[in-house]
Amino acid sequence: MSSPEMPASRVDTTGESLGDLVSELTGDLSKLMRQELELAKAELREEASKAGKATGMLAAAGFAGYLTTVLLSFALVFALGAVMPLGWAALIVAVLWGIAGAVLYTSGRAKLRTVNPKPERTVATLKEDAEWAKHPTK
């Protein structure tokens, strides 16, 4: 009775045991995971750098807008100063800015009152999930 021959592709020529192969596979997977994490960290650092630069540009644009508003206000004061004393012209511009601030404040406060800090849909969904987990066959 002769034993069937194993195909050459299935013969273990390295002499490694199954434990050694599993250990090597585990090590390779661990190394792959570490490399993937390092890549993710590098990508996040790059994106954070881009976001930081963009934020700086937006802040500079906001500052430029602020300066424009201040200088236009001075221009309005001096334009009104051509037809009235500068003190009254400055007072008129200040009152205009006070009115604009009051309108923005009341509008913002009204919108803030409509904000609901409790995520109602999420809470309802979580309650449904908990109920399903208690009785999954219903």
Residue type, 49: S
Does residue 127 or residue 62 have the better pLDDT? Answer: 62
User: Residue 69: is its pLDDT beyond 90?
Assistant: yes
What is residue 125's predicted lDDT score, i.e. its pLDDT?
82
Residue 86 makes CB contacts below 8 A (sequence gap 6+) with 77, 78
Place 70 in a pLDDT band, splitting at 50, 70 and 90. very high
User: Residue 76: is its pLDDT beyond 90?
Assistant: yes
* Cβ pair 76, 100 in contact under 8 A: no
Q: State both tokens at 123.
A: 């809470």
Q: Per-residue pLDDT tens for 84-110?
A: 999 999 999 999 999 999 999 999 999
* Other CB atoms within 10 A of residue 92 CB: 14
